[in-house]
Structure 1
Amino acid sequence: MRDLGTMGESTFNLWCADAGLFANGSKIDKTGWDFLVEFPFDFRADPDVIHKSAIECRVQVKSTDDNKGKISITLSNLRRLITAHMPSFFVFLEFDGQSSAERAYVLHVEEELISKVLKRLHEIEQSDKENRFNKRTITIHYNNSHLLNSLDGNSLKENFLSHIGNDMSSYIVKKRDHLASTGFENGFAQINFTTQGKDNLRKLIDVSIGVEKSAKIQSFVGTKTRFGIKSKSPFVNAVNGRLEMPDIQPNTVGEICFKEDKLTVGFSFPSKLYFSPFNKMVPKELVKARVEGDFFDLRFNPFTGEAEHSFSFGEGIRLDVYQFRDALKLLKQLCTPNKRLFSELRFAQLPVLTFNVDCHGQVYPFDKELEALKAACEILSFFDIAKGVDTSLLEISYLTESIQQFSDLIDSSNKSFKVEFNVEDASYDPKKPTACICLTSVQIGSHVFGIFIVITGEVHTNDENGKYIIHSTSYNIEKKIVVPENLAVKREDLFTEIDPIEKKYSDDFQVIVMDT
């Protein structure tokens, strides 16, 4: 009687020897593999190669006289092959009744097969039936995509290497990571809990969208899952507690836009959108979603139209200056009685959601700050700055007057200027035209903005204090500077900026540099 097993192993041994591979046979037929195949070291003169381990793989050889393209293998043997960190292969040899192999197929134990077998193992382990893996089998299929190009050792070797690559360590890391993560694609546990009453249910929904910190629950059962298969025993089973969800992440990000009507530009603000995972389980009147921005929070029910919003510009809230201006403009509109705003939610992978916001008459407390922010935006525009300057409500409130004055200064519609100064230089002649170089600056949130201005004109003397005075109806801005507010500007750096300005006017004017 033909011994196909021995014929197959002998053929495999011969091919390995022909290719310079070392095929070490398993002495005990319970290991799940027939051969441990060792590759020779790579002897290239490369310092990095010296540190790499030699390639090894486990191989199970299956011999047959038919060509069905499939074979049943016990789960106990498969488990050893798929969980081994080193590469594993099946080599199927078809003899067709001949004395030598007619065809050979090489099947790599790759990630898809690993996951398939592990899922089956979990199904059996958690079932109520007998779970002896050595009594259960799974069918392994192979086809022409696994066919060895030629029946020799070199073809076998090249096939192995095409799957393993040239770095054994990288292969092992990748396989180990897959073994650790597969089956957890949809989570690692199933949580079941109960709560009583609509108030607790509403609070639970608020917890799920990050509004509330915790909600009361009556029972809590947690069961580990893998491949969607529940473990027989829960890892936690408790009664009467509080449920927290401390790391709530938005479902998507985008922006919310408020307009006076559909055809206006309106105000747009970056936003995060949260949908409660309980929305599919509760009545429509309890469904809730949340839109969160840097300074606002909007909760609404898309079915009933019920909505509530809140704004905060308090401690810790810093916004881009342009965004801050738009935020206060929006808030002013929301405080206008009998006004309706048209709103749009624009979020990735979702259709645009539109709704109306009815405004109710309320006292608007930020008129002064809004005017200061408008002036601040004009200053930023003058300095050609579109973004990157942030501020807080407290800073704007404190610096309102200086921001407005600086904005007035750069406004070309200003009519007249008066400069009063003393001169310590005895050679100064007040009868000659004078050019005064002045540096003026203002802080807007995170940055300081400054301009060197030159005011020219005839000099007069103040009879009361003896100081010189220049009255002028025009001035020139010769230099703009912008620095972060925490950056100390050296005095010598300022004079470096002044020197070319002074030279520009020195031929026609006596130049006075105002003390900076």
Structure 2
Amino acid sequence: MGQAYFEQLCSANGLIANSSSLNDATGWDYTVEFPNDYSGKKLNHEKNFENIIVKFQVKSTKTNKKSVSIKLTNMQRFVNEPLPSFIIIFKYNNSSIEPQRAYLIHVDDKLIGRTIKRLREADINGVKHLHKKKISITFDESDEIKNISKEDLLKLIKGYTGENVQTYIQNKIRITNTIGYDKLNTKIQFRTSSFNETENMVHALIGLSNSFRVNNTIVSETRFGLEKTINQTETGLINIDKIKANDLKAALIIPNKDGQYVSEIQADIYSLGPIYNSLPDKLKIFRFQTGIINIIYKPKLKTFNFKIDIKSGNKRCIFELYEEVQFVLNSIEFKHIIIEVDAKRIIDSPTTISNVEIGVIINISKLLKQVIKTLNYFNIRNCKMSINELESIGHKMLILSYSISGKADFSFETRLLQSNVDNYKKSPLEYELTALSA
């Protein structure tokens, strides 16, 4: 009854209603295609004209209830279908062959959310015969098609989809994939088999390593407040590609013998978050890091380790790198460091750097001075370089710097380098390094 009227309604509106092969005791699925619009508009035949295709389920009722039941599997199909989907409900009295009222229900974000939540509940409860489960769809006057025979069905549907169906599809896919999730929705439970593995885990969580071994791993996901196990293994390896530093920064400060600040730089903070309190004191660690400085602080043991990575391959702004190298030289000279977080002093102690070769640091400082002098001469402010790269081109920088200063006659090589710099100035990338390494 409702299916026949729906086909007539589509035909009267110039729509093509293709019935699916899935017959349902209480409804019928249709794929409805809207024809190309040739109503006097100038068309570009070289471009594909976008047809609007939507999915419909037709429901008929003779009751006064403001709800209908639909199989959960049918709603599952509508939710997973990226095309616009609708439920049209026709209300009949006992004697009429045409409906007295019609209601158009859009499968929107609220209905998508309700359906996905019901599906998750079924998964958690181990429901085997999903096709026997139903979901209630309610409707009211706001969903009513006011004049069934004269209403423009195409206009009604476009009111939900907009003119750009591709945008609608992308938005529906996004909603289907994200609705019901909180910001933190995945939980991993595991055990570590030894103290060493627990230590490896701690190091990975603060960025000192990138993997650790675990046992009895359970991965669960929470959606709509419902937790569901999605993976379970006896043993495994957890890889952590990148750890995000805390939002707060630490101030690393070198004071002189009179307590006056000689040098100060900012450092990233890496902490262990909620697992900190459950760890043994030996593994309660904070990490402070700059480009070449690594400080490991164990507050419960009142110890810290100050290391310098002078062979770092990470590219840094030359001016920032020089500031860090000067900080290291000051720490070698004054042998004292202060660390403050959010204006609170957490370390104020004598220190020594455990792995630094003073002569190497001094040489790097000299090279950086010459590089900065050269960059300033060419008015270059955006130059990034690693220490390895700095050492590889250091002799050229010295030649260029001396030539600029007039201390030596290296005008031929200077002209070549100047030419290279000029050639690369049109590039937004690190042309300085390329030019000076040529």
TM-score category, normalised to shorter length = 0.7 to 0.9
How far apart are residue 387 of structure 1 and its match?
2.9
Task: Describe the superposition over 1:457-509 as per-residue Cα deviations: whole angstroms up to 9, x where unpaired.
Answer: xxxxxxxxxxxxxxxxxxxxxx9x988465599xxxxxxxxxxxxxxxxxxxx
What residue is the counterpart of 1:424 in the other structure? none
Could you tell me how far apart the structure 2 residues matched to 1:252 and 1:47 are?
A: 55
What amino acid maps onto 1:40 in structure 2? Answer: P
Task: Describe the superposition over 1:362-394 as per-residue Cα deviations: whole angstroms up to 9, x where unpaired.
Answer: 673333442443354344334433332636352
- Give the count of matched residue pairs: 413
Q: Which has the larger radius of gyration?
A: 1
Could you tell me how far apart the structure 2 residues matched to 1:192 and 1:389 are?
A: 41
What amino acid maps onto 1:215 in structure 2? Answer: F
Task: Describe the superposition over 1:252-303 as per-residue Cα deviations: whole angstroms up to 9, x where unpaired.
Answer: 578654345799795445x655443662662484443434433233334577
Matched, 1:21 2:20: no
What amino acid maps onto 2:121 in structure 1? Answer: E
Change (3 A) 1:322 1:441: farther
Change (3 A) 1:160 1:302: farther
How far apart are residue 335 of structure 1 and its match?
1.6
Q: Using the TM superposition, name which of 12-21 and 398-407 deviates more.
A: 398-407
Matched, 1:206 2:203: yes
1:108 aligned residue (106, 113, 125): 106
What residue is the counterpart of 1:387 in the other structure? 382
What amino acid maps onto 2:233 in structure 1? Answer: N
- The within-5 A match list for 1:92-241 is 92-93=89-90, 104-128=102-126, 130-148=127-145, 150-166=147-163, 171=168, 175=172, 179=176, 191-217=188-214, 219-223=215-219, 225=221, 227=223, 229-231=227-229, 235-239=231-235
What amino acid maps onto 1:220 in structure 2? Answer: N
Asked whether the equivalents of residues 91 and 104 of structure 1 are also in contact (C-alpha less than 8 Å), the reply is: yes
How far apart are residue 135 of structure 1 and its match?
3.3
% identity of equivalent residues: 18
How far apart are residue 115 of structure 1 and its match?
3.5
What residue is the counterpart of 1:40 in the other structure? 35
Asked whether the equivalents of residues 372 and 396 of structure 1 are also in contact (C-alpha less than 8 Å), the reply is: no
Change (3 A) 1:336 1:41: same
What residue is the counterpart of 2:428 in the other structure? none
How far apart are residue 51 of structure 1 and its match?
5.1
Instruction: Give secondary structure in 1 for the equivalent of 2:349.
Output: strand
1:374 aligned residue (369, 372, 382): 369
Task: Describe the superposition over 1:308-338 as per-residue Cα deviations: whole angstroms up to 9, x where unpaired.
Answer: 3322121635433322221111101222345
What amino acid maps onto 1:163 in structure 2? Answer: Y
Change (3 A) 1:97 1:290: farther
Asked whether the equivalents of residues 26 and 60 of structure 2 are also in contact (C-alpha less than 8 Å), the reply is: no
Instruction: Give secondary structure in 2 for the equivalent of 1:324.
Output: helix
How far apart are residue 440 of structure 1 and its match?
7.0
Change (3 A) 1:121 1:275: same
2:347 aligned residue (349, 356, 373): 356
Task: Describe the superposition over 1:51-107 as per-residue Cα deviations: whole angstroms up to 9, x where unpaired.
Answer: 544524223334355364x44433133223333343221223456899676654322
How far apart are residue 226 of structure 1 and its match?
6.8
Structure 2 gaps, min length 5 = 426-430
What residue is the counterpart of 1:320 in the other structure? 317
What amino acid maps onto 1:374 in structure 2? Answer: K
What residue is the counterpart of 1:3 in the other structure? none
TM-score (norm 2): 0.72
RMSD, aligned α-carbons:
4.6
What residue is the counterpart of 1:247 in the other structure? 241
Task: Describe the superposition over 1:15-57 as per-residue Cα deviations: whole angstroms up to 9, x where unpaired.
Answer: 3333222445567225963544332233352225645445242
Change (3 A) 1:485 1:26: closer
How far apart are residue 190 of structure 1 and its match?
5.2
Structure 1 gaps, min length 5 = 1-5, 345-350, 411-416, 420-437, 451-478, 490-516
Could you tell me how far apart the structure 1 residues matched to 2:59 and 2:115 are?
A: 19
What residue is the counterpart of 1:439 in the other structure? 411
Instruction: Give secondary structure in 2 for the equivalent of 1:314.
Output: coil
Q: Using the TM superposition, name which of 119-128 and 169-178 deviates more.
A: 169-178
Change (3 A) 1:113 1:48: farther
Change (3 A) 1:87 1:440: same
TM-score (norm 1): 0.63
Instruction: Give secondary structure in 2 for the equivalent of 1:38.
Output: strand
What residue is the counterpart of 1:66 in the other structure? 64
Asked whether the equivalents of residues 26 and 59 of structure 2 are also in contact (C-alpha less than 8 Å), the reply is: no
